[in-house]
């Protein structure tokens, strides 16, 4: 489904603000394309539970070629969604990676067929805690079984089967998206021609689990959370979720970037006010981040998806050996990190590269110089764009994918 | 007042747990010594408001010599208190810096007379938001004017006048305590013979303001906060304060220390439980930190003291020039930082050292190798102990303070 088709499906007089008033509907009947599965396509989760039925919401961009060889799966991060290169129906904002993905962009939708699906446990149309539990007619809430990164990837694989795509030309993603990329290469090595994990890690660190736990406790401490049953009560743990987002947001930035962007600058005032208003620009900025986030994200979904990241430990299934996870991998890897990223520091990416080298896999590695912290992967970072473009161009040549009309191979 | 005297003053049948049941009383009638001031000793605050009357709670250790030349003021950090080397009456735990301060310790109470006062805005006996406002008979709550680090130091100076101590042999403190040390040297240079700011900074950074703002928002988001009037309502924003403490606690540790101490170890279980219990040790640890903190600290006090740190910017009164703040300083400085401290990184201490050098002040600097993050200043760090001991011994010789009986000068 292209960006234009999505726009057509939205009633033309329905503004983003009006849609936002009823974001809950996006969980069951998303603005994007959605596929429903059950029966022999029931989803057996890592927890041992079976989801039947379940659904997955996704967007596509570009055209699948005759060989079905030009498909790229883009995996989104913690609070991302399927709208990688088209406007988010709740916020009206451009796709979250439209700098990287689109016509003529490094992930060129004139050349490649790009698929991006909302993750399992998400809240924009793929089965998650905000979805209706078909067995009860109520929201799943905390009755939904916990999901893992591997479960998210399993769900995506079923979708690709359904779309008739046997092999992905590439899987690309940053942060939690990068975790999915790595999981794809391990779970389905024969289906992944190339893989681009950016600002990611093969396991979630103790410090990162700690930050996630703070966020979850902030949500659960909000009395409007109601044990996850806020929908039925007609309330919403907005304050708790905003605090969670504020704490997380600090970890997405870097100390130097904060210093450069905000320093100790005051917000619309000449002097400190000796009070608890947002005297400093950084406070005002964080509060805004917290408030806007609650408009577009489900609090229970935040619990589920952070937990999936915490549980991620790629080596755990291989006796703790990361190289064994990648043994005999036919995939070409391009691993990327950012110098100022302290949430997923370069050392984590290097551990992946080291394991890939130990497994004699095909891997290139680029550490991008940037002072923007973890968030850099979502921003205008020319070196990242050049690296993705160069890597995909080379891989496409090896894969025999035709260059775009008028473009160079 | 010595450690023993404090113990005597507590009814012998009153356990720490029983005392904890009524921590509020500590705000007005602390277990430690307390002095009340008013009239010509009213406290004019940076905000322009005058506190009259006000009180300051403190502990002392050792004996003031005849010259009154051997007094050391220890300044405590954000959630510290006056019980630097004697048990905290609420928790029953040993003094928070008893590794550094005590008989035969680097800050040797056999040689020096050590004073430690609860900060203005605190909750253990010095006027703070949990204290009774004499004008209304109610707790101050948010009616208390905001206080600054300089206000804290002003209050300590009044106490020292009262104790007949004109010049401090040394002022020692870590983190916010180090901010007070620097403020002392700038506000009262002639009263400070030597100064030891540890793991501190001359101004609070944007990232640190951001973390504090998250903590305050967590407290204020708790409906039991009641706009600061929880005492009257018979409730307590414990969940919000616990979340604030959890977030802050992560910043006190380092990623390597967390990895070494907890890694991805599970808490009392063989496998993940696919739920939101504390599967990981780091989660269990953080929750414990949050829960125990609320037993001993006043939520409004947390707002006030974090705000005081946010407002700290030593150069601001000197046209933004830190060297000008220290011009003609007669004080000997020993600045210390820790390699893995990312809350008050070495760069902040180096900025202080650079300014002191530019002001031709007497300064030595030690960066202690430690992987324990900001918390290192409170822990068993032999290099820190050796540095403090060496510096104070040299300064005491210069000051002509007699060595302890049987000890070397």
- ipTM of the complex, rounded to two decimals: 0.91
Residue for token pair 């928002």: B217
Torsional class of A227: left (φ above 0), alpha (ψ -120 to 50), beta (otherwise): left
For residue B6, what is the DSSP state? H
Q: What is the pLDDT of residue A406?
A: 62
Contact: B221, A240; criterion CB under 8 Å: yes
Element (H, E) at A285: helix A281-296
Looking at chain A, which residue has its C-alpha nearest residue B271? A311
Mean pLDDT of B62-79: 98
Using DSSP bridges, classify how beta strands B107-108 and A332-338 pair: parallel, antiparallel or unpaired.
unpaired
pLDDT greater at residue A408 or residue A117: A117
Q: What is the predicted pLDDT for the residue at B406?
A: 63
Q: How far apart are CA A369 and CA A366, in angstroms?
A: 9
Residue B399 confidence (pLDDT) above 90: yes
* Whether residue B341 lies in the annotated active site: yes
Section B168-176 average pLDDT: 98
Assigned fold of B3-205+313-399? Rossmann fold (3.40.50)
- Cβ contacts of B44 on chain A, cutoff 8 Å: none
Q: List, as one string, the DSSP characters of B315-364.
A: GGGGTT-HHHHTTT---EEEEEEETT-SSS-HHHHHHHHHHHHHTT-EEE
Q: Name the DSSP letter for residue A207.
A: H
What's the pTM?
0.92
Under 8 Å between Cβ of B193 and B168: yes
Q: What is the pLDDT of residue B407?
A: 55
Least confident of A20-24, A255-259, A401-405: A20-24
- Closest residue in A to B204 (Cα) is A264
Residue A24 has a pLDDT of 52
pLDDT of residue B2: 34
Kindly report the average pLDDT of chain A as a whole number.
93
CATH of A3-204+313-399, one of 3.40.50.2300, 2.150.10.10, 3.40.50.1000, 3.40.50.1820: 3.40.50.1820
Q: What is the pLDDT of residue B235?
A: 96
Task: State chain B's mean pLDDT as an integer.
Answer: 93
Q: Which of residues 328-357 of B touch A (CB under 8 A)?
A: 342, 345
Residue A299 to chain B, least CA–CA distance (Å)? 14
Residue B262 sits at the chain A interface (C-beta within 8 Å): yes
Flag if B272 and A311 touch (Cβ within 8 Å): yes
pLDDT of residue B1: 31
The pLDDT tens digits of the residues spanning A336-377 come to: 999 999 999 999 999 999 999 999 999 999 999 999 999 999
Q: Which residues in A lie closer than 8 A to residue B223 (C-beta atoms)?
A: 223
Range 118-137 of A in CB contact (< 8 A) with B: none
Instruction: Provide the shortest C-alpha distance from residue B343 to chain A (in Å).
Output: 10
Rounded mean pLDDT of B186-194? 98
pLDDT at A119: 98
Which residues in chain A are contacts of B220 at CB distance < 8 A?
Answer: 276
- The lowest-confidence range among A2-11, A278-287, B95-104, B367-376 is A2-11
Cite the annotated binding site of B for substrate by residue number. Answer: 245, 375
What is the pLDDT averaged over residues A196-223?
A: 98
Q: Which residues of A touch B47 (CB under 8 A)?
A: 274
SS3 B266: strand
For residue B110, is pLDDT > 70?
yes
Confidence grade of residue A9 (pLDDT, cut at 50, 70, 90) = very low
Evaluated on CA atoms A172, A177, A183, A188, the torsion sign reads negative
Q: Could you identify the residue written with the tokens 């503004």?
A: A15
- Among A119-123, B5-9, B405-409, top mean pLDDT goes to A119-123
Residue B9: is its pLDDT beyond 50?
no
* Mean pLDDT of the region A242-269: 95
Return the structure tokens found at B61: 């250790």
Mutate which of A149, A221, A289 to disrupt the B interface (most B C-beta within 10 Å)? Answer: A221
Look at A282 and B204 and tell me if their CB atoms are within 8 Å.
no
Mean pLDDT score, B294-302: 96
Percent of chain B with pLDDT strictly greater than 90: 92
pLDDT at B404: 84
A209–B146 CB contact, under 8 Å: no
- For the stretch B372-394, pLDDT in tens is 999 999 999 999 999 999 999 99
So what's the pLDDT on residue A404?
Answer: 84
A383 touches chain B (CB under 8 A): no
| Weakest-pLDDT range from B4-13, B82-91, B351-360, B367-376 | B4-13
Q: B210-306 — its CATH code?
A: 1.10.1740.110
Percent of chain A with pLDDT over 90: 92
CB pairs under 8 A between A and B: 152
Length of chain B equals 409
Tell me which residue of A242, A248, A230 sits closest to A300, measured CA to CA: A230
Interval B148-153 mean pLDDT: 98
Task: Convert the pLDDT of each residue in B299-354 to its tens digit.
Answer: 999 999 999 999 999 999 999 999 999 999 999 999 999 999 999 999 999 999 99
Could you check whether the bond before residue B53 is cis, i.e. omega within 30 degrees of 0? yes
- Cβ density class B222-235: b for 16+ within 10 Å, e for less: bebbbebebbeeee
Predicted confidence band at B6 (pLDDT cuts at 50, 70, 90)? very low
Task: List residues of A with catalytic annotation.
Answer: 175, 341, 374
> Residue A217: which of B143, B205, B241, B47 has the closest Cα?
B241
Nearest CB neighbour to B264, from listed A203, A239, A246 = A203
**B46 interfaces chain A, CB cutoff of 8 Å:** yes
Output the pLDDT for position A25. Answer: 86
Degrees to nearest 5, angle at CA B57 with B51 and B62: 140
Buried b (16+ CB within 10 A) or exposed e, B398-408: ebebeebeeee
Using the predicted structure, report yes or no on whether residue A409 has a pLDDT greater than 80.
no
pLDDT band for position A405 (cuts 50, 70, 90) = confident
What mean pLDDT comes out for the span A181-205? 98
Locate the domains of chain A by residue range. 3-204+313-399, 210-306
Fold agreement (A3-204+313-399, A210-306): no
Interchain CB distance below 8 Å, A247 and B242: no
Inform me whether the C-beta atom of residue A219 falls under 8 Å from chain B C-beta atoms.
no
pLDDT mean over A191-196:
98
Of A216, A259, A311, the CB nearest to B206: A259
Residue A384 distance to chain B (closest CA, Å):
26
């Amino acid at each position: 489904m292209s960006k234009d088709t999505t726009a057509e499906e939205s009633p033309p007089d329905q503004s983003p603000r009006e849609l936002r008033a009823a974001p809950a509907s996006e969980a069951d009947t998303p603005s994007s394309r959605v596929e429903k599965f059950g029966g022999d396509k029931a989803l057996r989760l890592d927890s041992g539970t079976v989801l039947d039925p379940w659904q997955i919401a996704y967007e596509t961009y570009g055209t699948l070629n005759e060989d079905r060889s030009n498909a790229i799966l883009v995996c989104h991060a913690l609070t991302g969604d399927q709208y990688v290169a088209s406007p988010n129906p709740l916020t009206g904002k451009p796709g979250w990676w439209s700098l990287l993905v689109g016509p003529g962009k490094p992930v060129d939708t004139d050349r490649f067929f790009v698929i991006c699906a909302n993750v399992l446990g998400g809240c924009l149309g793929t089965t998650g805690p905000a979805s209706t539990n078909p067995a009860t007619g109520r929201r799943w809430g905390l009755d939904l079984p916990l999901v893992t990164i591997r479960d998210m990837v399993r769900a995506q694989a079923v979708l690709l089967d359904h779309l008739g795509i046997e092999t992905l030309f590439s899987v690309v993603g940053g942060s939690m998206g990068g975790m999915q990329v790595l999981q794809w290469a391990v779970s389905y090595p024969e289906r992944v021609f190339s893989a681009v994990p950016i600002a990611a890690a093969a396991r979630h660190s103790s410090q990162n689990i700690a930050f996630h736990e703070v966020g979850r406790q902030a949500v659960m401490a909000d009395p409007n959370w109601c044990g996850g049953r806020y929908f039925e009560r007609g309330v919403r743990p907005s304050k708790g979720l905003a605090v969670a987002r504020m704490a997380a947001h600090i970890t997405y930035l870097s100390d130097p970037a904060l210093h450069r962007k905000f320093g100790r600058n005051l917000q619309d005032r000449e002097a400190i006010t000796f009070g608890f208003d947002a005297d400093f620009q950084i406070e005002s900025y964080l509060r805004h981040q917290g408030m806007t986030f609650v408009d577009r994200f489900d609090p229970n979904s935040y619990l589920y998806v952070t937990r999936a990241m915490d549980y991620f430990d790629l080596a755990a299934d291989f006796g703790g050996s990361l190289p064994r996870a990648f043994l005999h991998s036919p995939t070409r890897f391009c691993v990327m990190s950012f110098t100022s990223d302290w949430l997923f520091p370069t050392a984590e990416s290097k551990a992946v590269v080291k394991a890939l080298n130990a497994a004699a896999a095909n891997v290139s590695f680029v550490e991008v110089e940037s002072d923007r912290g973890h968030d850099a992967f979502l921003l205008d970072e020319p070196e990242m764009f050049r690296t993705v473009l160069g890597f995909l161009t080379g891989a496409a040549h090896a894969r025999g994918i035709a260059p775009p009309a008028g473009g160079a191979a």
